[in-house]
A = this chain, B = another copy of it.
Amino acid sequence: MQVKNVKAEFSFSADKMRKVNLFETERMFADIYCLDPGQEQKRHSHEGADKIYYVLEGTGRFHIGGVEADLGPNQIVLAPADVEHGVRNETSDRVVLLVFMAPNPNKK
């Protein structure tokens, strides 16, 4: 059985936001994104692929389709295909996000 403890996968990098892959198939992936204070995922978009962010820890400042919001634990947000999105840790605490994406843009 392909099981992981998400908290045990938390891993940070001094130079940039760290992505840790949990599962990947031909059709989707699940990652965690670990952001130290000041780190970000720059705004970008994916042609024909949707992304979901679920906040595990901390508060991220999200930009999705020109709208900005600070989202914390228990909040989940959809970045639909082709819509510009990004997230930045503007706080002094760590931010960890559970991220799902489909289809898997690495498998095109």
Contact = CB atoms under 8 A, between A and B. Distances in A.
A12 interface: no
Interface in A70-97: 71, 74-78, 80-81
Interface residues of A, number: 36
A69 B8 CA distance: 18
Number of copies of this chain that the complex holds: 2
A50 interface: yes
Given A6-B74, A22-B76, A28 B100 contact: yes
A27 B77 contact: no
Contacts of A14: none
B3 A25 contact: no
Nearest to A62: B1
Contacts of A64: 1-2
Contacts of A4: 75-77
A62 B50 CA distance: 27
